Structure 1
Amino acid sequence: MDEFSINTELNRLQHRIYLNNIDLQAKQDDLERLRRTLNSLESKQGDFHGNNQLCTKPECSKSTFFGSNADNVEGLRDSDIIPSYNDITDKQLHGKTDRIRLKIEELTGDISALNSSINTMESNRRSLIDKRSEIRRLS
């Protein structure tokens, strides 16, 4: 391999390292945003669970909670409020947190692969620099 070929390969390798570092930074930023979002969502989920009784078993005074009013409130609670509340907790909140966790795992794997790739390219770059130095020394 001559010095020109080595310089060409070094330029190509440095460009790939640069692009991978940009990709790595973007993925790290995305990962950080997802972690903050997950923490916020889990906090909101805790607040939501803490208000379970307040939402699913509304309190009514004795003067308003009797006869047909009581039947209407209980019917509304059983047919609409409780299923809607459970849908939010079971399907929406848990579903969103699960998808965020999966994306976090995916990004973590991508970041690890990019770091490994960058390290390999850096090692190849150092080898090429050593070869170029050796060629220059022998010339």
Structure 2
Amino acid sequence: MGFIDFISFSGFIIINMRIYRKNSAASTLGVEGIDEAELLLGIKDIDKVADYFSSQGSTIVAIKLGPKGCYLRHQSEELFVPGYSVGNVIDTVAGDGFAAGLLAGILRNESLERSGKYANGVGAMADQKYIDRRKKDNYYYN
């Protein structure tokens, strides 16, 4: 039985969880937004942030780029996956959705690109659902 260690520095909270999968190799997934990486590591360059996570043991690196999409790296494969334009973005909601979508893709053994599309899509949908709810309840737009 393999596992995925999921590591993210969400704001100033370190999220670290282990997800077990049957018949798979162990992997560590490092997920971070480029703005948080700059704040925490003092690094804004995407390649250098990915190198840092790789040097810390992440076998899969995901760097969130907001509405621009994400950068993904796994071993020698690296790619940018374009995001979806949804208007207003609540980073926390979109980031949580991104992480959920990425994990869903990986756990389904999808390709890195398809996992990135899941991540961007779920992040965008989570953000829009939150915005719609806040408009309806009228506690954001007064």
Pick the structure with more helix per residue.
Answer: 1
Give the number of the structure with larger relative contact order, counting CA–CA contacts within 8 Å between residues 6 or more apart: 1
TM-score norm. by structure 2 comes to: 0.26
- Bigger radius of gyration, 1 or 2? 1
TM-score, normalisation: structure 1: 0.26
